[in-house]
A and B are shown apart, each in its own frame.
Chain A
Amino acid sequence: MHGPAGTDSHWRDGPWQKAGQRLTAHRPAAAGLTVLAALMLAVAAGLVAGGGPVGAALAAGHQSLTFALFAGLGGAALGLLWAATAVALGERAERAMMTPATALTGLPLALALPLAGGLLGPERGLAPMAVVTALIAAPAVAVVARDELRALLRREFLSAAQAAGIANGRRLRRHILPNAVLPLAAAAWTALPRALMAESLASLLGLGLPEGVTGWGTAIGAAARAGDAVALAGPALLLALTLWALHGVGDGMRLAFSTTGGHR
């Protein structure tokens, strides 16, 4: 028999390291991660230093990113819960739960946020807006997460674990959950750009973040109404850059982690 595959220094690398290497090997993902890290630092620095159009744009980024992060995480959690419940409850319940999710992903849900903003009126709080954003982001996450879970449950090593007499609870803890982490993270990530996009669109129309909270969308809207090109450029560029980076990382995660859509 031959020795263990390869003698290069990577042969002992675990599967997690390999997944990380696959992610950073995807160029847009690597660039996206760098851009996101730089933006975080810049936004933090802008909060401290402040001043000028750049400082204002960075300060607005703080509000936008915080909102998108919380609403996106909420949407991701909701979507994952949706998918996991559907898969756990058996075939009939799964069909009943996933059909509406699939139908919702086909609708222009982003328009629901300005609608909610209008209905809630100018006195609207941050929390209801975040909840609506999470609801907007959830169906797409649920659809992808369901596909990933189904693909995972069909994988052969679970049959092998069953043949080894491993009880269902232990199979879930030891085999299913660890293997679900990365594909589900890739599914959940899509909620972040979706939340940022929906919030920025609503804020641009003045129907997003409540009065007194200035996000990138709000800043772009105000600058456009004032006809101030210099004030418009900063937030618009930062928003575009952030969305690009988020999508780049999302694509990379899908290619590197997914068992259904990725090329592996």
Chain B
Amino acid sequence: MLLPEPEQNILDRRDEIVGALKSLLPKGCVIDDRTTMKAFDSDGLSAYRNLPLVVVLPETTQQVADVMKWCRDNGVKIVPRGAGTSLSGGALPLSDGVLLGLGKFNQITEIDFENRTVTAQPGVTNLAITTAVQDDGFYYAPDPSSQIACSIGGNIAENSGGVHCLKYGLTTNNVLGIEMVTMDGEIVRIGGKHLDAPGFDILGIMTGSEGLLGVVTEVTVRILRKPATQRAMLVGFDTVQEAGQAVSIVIAAGIIPAGMEMMDNPAINAAEDFVNAGYPREAAALLIVELDGPEVEVDYLLDRVATLMKGAGASSIRISQSEEERNQFWAGRKSAFPAVGRISPDYLCMDGTIPRKALPEMLTRMSAMSQKYGLRVANVFHAGDGNLHPLILFDANAEGELARAEEFGAEILRNCVALGGVLTGEHGVGVEKRDLMGEMFTEDDLKQQQRLKCAFDPDHLLNPGKVFPVLHRCAELGRLHVHHGQLPHPDIPRF
């Protein structure tokens, strides 16, 4: 069973629940007919679909609070949803849960150039923030591939990254403040335009909490001045191992490029067939290195990187000579996923991270796994920070291929952990990697994380069934087990 068994008594109370929600929200904010709800039955992980109990689309923070308080009081589960672009099933609906969409929160509320901040409602897209400030020469740094569609609230939930986080950080490093609603229906503000809010860092744990701790209703982010110059370099290698080593060599030389991406031969050719980016088709691996800053710095560093790349065995080097050419270099990388979609009926996109130095070893293991499972794999990496996106090619209509592809994917992630890495670098755990959490964490590690969840949501009403493979009741988690489950001092009060 993928999701927790729906509670029959909630399903039986559907009419009452829908009626109550309609009384809390303006007309048009509750969707309860099955045909319209179909639009919300999955997120970016479209292999999994499920109709929610009902969909609500509130318009104000107070309405979000009213819905959450009512659901808490009535024991009804909530699944929050931004733009529904999660690649890990974070917004997959529950049959007995209210799907709470933030789509109507679509306004940028303040742009403050003097303090370099933008305050926006959570449904505003990632790209819309940059669009709003780019005429004044600013941008918002985290740039997930889905930036045209994904929402800034969803970015907080997933701690989204992108190709430039090597130098500019993930969402967590670029968000300054939030307003959020807790499962109790309390409205809480943390941070703002000032730094490092007092108390335990709730902003920090909310970021990447996958909608399990609260619902974000406003976001304040840091914007940056666009660099004076950006140039990209295409570097071809005869072996993937050499390319992997080259990545470490550049970092070890003290250079942190704005982006350092890697594609293997199948990905190079798929991209080349799709957009004609001018990639070297014969190369076993390609690095795209981007440098930004003042022109003199970029020129100087490009020179240094080129020298390092030659020393690492590069078979070809091209440097973008114009903004048009730079965009062309990136076009292939940015369309790698749809390009792979053209050469295979289906693909699974994985998302593990490994230490940079383990890249060559991982690539060797990947080709062995590809043979073992009889499935092709195309590799697209954020190589600079060790974040892998292997695309496993399969045909869902071929008997058993989906299961084989999923097993292949799981083995890749187990290898990431074995090489000192992690299950997910930027896509989140969601339902996709939930059952692999035990590969990386012990039962004790996971229980401590769930105790934190209990501080926010003691009844597990907010997005249950995601991230954690086993849901422990908070009362059980709160018990003190001092000596192997035996309390030596029974006089200590328990909770």
Tell me if chain B binds chain A: no
**Measuring CB to CB, which residues of chain A are less than 8 angstroms from any residue of chain B?**
none
